[in-house]
Amino acid sequence: MMARAKLGVAGAAAAVLLPVLLPHPFVLTIATQAVIWALLAASWDLLSGYTGQISFGHAGFFALGAYAAAAATKHAGVSPWLGLLLGAAIAAGVGLLTGFPALRLRGHYLALVTLGLAEIIRLVATNWLDLTGGPFGIHDFRSFPGLPAGALAHRQAMYLLVVAIVVGSVAVMYQVCERTSAGKAFRAIREDEVLAETLGVDTTRYKLLAFALSSGFAGLAGGLYAYYVQLVSPVVASAATTSLVIGMAVFGGLGTLWGPVLGALLLYGLYEGLRFVGVVYNLIAVGFVIMVFVIFFPRGLAGFGRSA
């Protein structure tokens, strides 16, 4: 435990130092987006890794947060700080509403419903022209105020801001999952839902809590993405986003939170790297990683660390 904690601190320090060590716009862009993906992968893990309820709709919640934040800032002049919260709140609200019909039942209904939900969100994003700009999406909205104006300095500040928010969010998730009775309830549901219920765990309530937290943090990641990339289009809500985030979580190791964060950083690097080989190969790799890791290395990279 101590060794792992030290390793974590060292890793975090290295991550924060990166923009100072390699102040290159391309590296910063990749690094910032990788950190945003890390938050999304961790949010999926909070639900699916800890409670065993699979969401196939994280592309939808990510898009919901991104669109809510971008639209609020563009159309209503809302401050990006509020926009982030708004995106998270809307994603969590939609998560609660759609989670309710599926999560009061036992079984895999959540996966089926959320796959449909993500597609609906993509449909709305494409067709509600006034609010979402249709296929071209929302662009030309302001980002966080008070960041330095110089191109490189701006990217560096943005990177540090994103890292701070993501580290804070993952820390909150870790607290909930590892230090509270809710976290114990999540894991009890994953291991044996019937037994958990017999022991007096209100399984529906805890599943809904996990799902609301998970979709809320996915929405927060979406908001960060919107203010960083400055363009939100329906592509964000495509099924490929969900595959990528699940691939990251499986790669890193389910039910650990830090595993999916690590998986996201590495797999996003690989994903972007494979673009140089050919745009189509990166998703083949993601599909392959998912299948191989689920079958042969179910504990992901986190499991390698544990056995060593």
Provide the 3-class DSSP secondary structure of residue 231: strand
Provide the 3-class DSSP secondary structure of residue 140: coil
**Interacting stretch for another protein, rule CB under 8 A, among 12-20, 109-117, 212-220, 228-236?**
109-117
Count of residues near another protein by CB under 8 A: 46
Q: What is the SS3 assignment for 247-291?
A: HHHHHHCCCCCHHHHHHHHHHHHHHHHHCCCCCCHHHHHHHHHHH
Which listed residue (148, 150, 298, 306) binds another protein by CB under 8 A? 298
Which listed residue (6, 24, 108, 275) binds another protein by CB under 8 A? 108
Give the closest residue to 224 by CA, choosing from 91, 87, 61, 131. 87
Q: Residue 94 has which token pair?
A: 């939609």
* Residue 204 CB-half CA count within 13 A: 8
Look-up: residue for tokens 């996003």?
268
Q: Is residue 210 close enough to count as binding another protein by CB under 8 A? A: no
Which listed residue (16, 27, 79, 109) binds another protein by CB under 8 A? 109
- Minimum separation from the CB atom of position 307 to another protein (A): 15
- Minimum separation from the CB atom of position 15 to another protein (A): 27
Q: Is residue 280 close enough to count as binding another protein by CB under 8 A? A: yes
Q: Is residue 277 close enough to count as binding another protein by CB under 8 A? A: no
Q: Is residue 303 close enough to count as binding another protein by CB under 8 A? A: no
Give the distance from CA 36 to its chain's centroid. 7
What's the helix, strand, coil split of the chain in %, to 5?
Answer: 80, 0, 20
**Interacting stretch for another protein, rule CB under 8 A, among 46-54, 213-221, 224-232, 260-268?**
46-54
Residues of this chain that bind another protein (CB under 8 A) = 48, 52-54, 56, 98, 101-102, 104-109, 111-113, 115-117, 119-120, 123, 127, 239-240, 242-243, 246-247, 250, 278, 280-281, 283-284, 286-291, 294-296, 298
